[in-house]
Amino acid sequence: MDAVASPALGAGVRLELFSTSFCGACRQTRAVLDRAASLVPGAVVVEHDLALEPELGDANVITQSPTTIVRSASGTEVLRAAGVPTVPQVLAAAARALDA
Condensed to tens digits (0 to 9), the pLDDT of residues 44-64 reads 999 999 999 999 999 999 999
Helix (H) or strand (E) holding 29: helix 24-39
Predicted confidence (pLDDT) at residue 13 exceeds the cutoff of 50: yes
In the chain, count of helices (H) and strands (E)?
Answer: 3, 4
Q: Cα–Cα–Cα angle for 50, 45, 77, nearest 5°?
A: 80
The dihedral formed by the CA atoms of 47, 77, 75 and 67, expressed in degrees to the nearest 10: -10
- pLDDT at res. 17: 98
- pLDDT at res. 12: 84
C-alpha to C-alpha distance for 48 and 57, rounded to whole angstroms: 8
- pLDDT at res. 42: 86
- pLDDT at res. 5: 34
pLDDT tens figures, 54-97: 999 999 999 999 999 999 999 999 999 999 999 999 999 999 99
